[in-house]
Amino acid sequence: MELKTEAARKRKSLAAVVRERIENKNSYGKTNTEIFMKKLEKLARENDRENRGISFSQKLIEMRNEQ
């Protein structure tokens, strides 16, 4: 009911109001990407520290070729 009244106030269709709300919820800004990249860098550093001399890329390629 709330969506219908909002659509009537804005003089838009109900579908347009729903689309607006979905776009706002799913919009990933630059900050979210930066946060994700920082976490990924941290995990990569930890992985490197714990597994010296092991190339994960090479190991994944070997595993793929074994199948």
3-state secondary structure of 51: coil
pTM for the structure as a whole = 0.42
Tokens of 8: 């009537």
Domain ranges of the chain: 2-66
**How is residue 52 written in tokens?**
């010296």
- pLDDT score for 41: 93
Q: What is the pLDDT of residue 67?
A: 78
Q: pLDDT tens digits for 6-61? A: 899 999 999 999 888 887 665 566 677 888 899 999 998 998 888 888 888 888 89
- Residue 27 has a pLDDT of 57
Which amino acid, one-letter code, is at 7? A
